[in-house]
A and B are shown apart, each in its own frame.
Chain A
Amino acid sequence: MAEFWRWKEYNWKDPDKDWKTAKMITAGIDVGSVSSQAVIATDGELYAYSSMRTGSNSPDSARKALEWALQDTGMKQENIQYVVGTGYGRVNVPFANKAITEIACHARGANFMAGNSVRTILDMGGQDCKAIHCDEKGKVTNFLMNDKCAAGTGRGMEVIADLLAVPIEQVGELSFNVPEEPEPVSSTCVVFAKSEAMGLLKDGWTKSKVLAAYCLAMAKRVSELLERIGVEKEFFITGGIAKNAGVVKRLEQVIGISAVQSKYDSQLAGALGAALFGQALLQKEKAAGKVA
């Protein structure tokens, strides 16, 4: 049976960089509720990364993500001088030197990815959603998290993609294939939204129209979170949902502010921030003479 929610796992390394010449090699492991990312940074620059689905075992997921990021680099885990774990499974990264909350790591990662003028970050994760305020250094000044429901998160989108038999990567694009914007579906709960979507399909709505209604519902739900904390420019979106144009464009319309674009993969923000924290902590330890 096809699994339409299943997004493609991937890894990457910078072919122009030689890690052997780097003075500092650090890694960030973001074990999220749905996906895990490993980022390897050399001298504070992105060198390699991987992104894969989190399994039932967090230490295993962390290990596999790092192994995949290291693949074809010639680098071994022993070459990494400092590892920071983050995300929902951060305390279960067995080889991490330190665990740091994903809120702090996303802010630091967003600061690197989209520049130091970013003040508001929306982290649209697998099973939660956070609105974060930060300063010019990427330090968190305030944040808000969604209530206890997967509506407005990546998992909610996966459920709808599966119901409609639409590959998750195509959801955003397909949702624009409507003559006019429909009313949003229920945004209180994913289960209610799914029931409502099934009813709409039976009423003769096209898949695109249902997707448009769901994307709009998601945009409205997260906009409430943003309104509570306030949106200060510049605004940046991290997490997997940032790749869904159907939600991002509608959210931009609802709040009246465009999100900053970045050349980096939005899903890496947490792990990248963790690797950058690792860099700073390693520098601190070196300065204190704790490590060579």
Chain B
Amino acid sequence: MLANYGYKDGSGEYFVTIDTDKCTSCPHHGCIDGCPEHIYEMITDDYDDNVSAVRRDVRNTLKYLCAACKPTTGRGVLPCMAACTPGAITHSW
């Protein structure tokens, strides 16, 4: 399932999308330690699968928390996306 976490406000849309079908086959869960702000956690979803999710307490502040990894110039691959070996994570902005 494509699980979307985030929000939209007057300045734009700030969603982190996790393809949880890719999470279930991932033995590493690199996202947990790969994010410098530790926004990810493992949860058991509706289908009893162990998948990654964005922590509930940070879902409304993603624009600011992720800002450090998103400089205006010279932006490389985001650490969370690099750490996610199955390629399950995408950012909307």
Question: Could you tell me which A residues sit within 8 Å of B by CB distance?
Answer: 100-101, 104, 139-143, 277, 281, 284
Contacts and interface: CB of A to CB of B under 8 A. Distances in A.
B2 interface: yes
A88 B47 CA distance: 19
A62 to B, nearest CB: 19
Contact of B47 (A139, A142, A143): A139
Contacts of A281: 48
A143 B1 CA distance: 8
Contact of B46 (A100, A141, A142): A100
What are the 7 closest A-B residue pairs judged by CB atoms, nearest first?
A104-B46, A142-B2, A100-B46, A140-B1, A101-B46, A141-B1, A139-B47
A275 to B, nearest CB: 14
Interface of B: 1-2, 21, 46-48
B1 to A, nearest CB: 5
A104 B47 contact: yes
Contacts of A143: 1
Contacts of A277: 46
A277 B1 CA distance: 17
A140 B1 CA distance: 6
Contacts of B21: 141
A284 B49 CA distance: 13
9 contacts: A104-B46, A104-B47, A139-B1, A141-B2, A142-B1, A142-B2, A143-B1, A281-B48, A284-B48
Given A104-B46, A104-B47, 8 more contacts: A100-B46, A139-B1, A140-B46, A141-B1, A141-B21, A143-B1, A281-B48, A284-B48
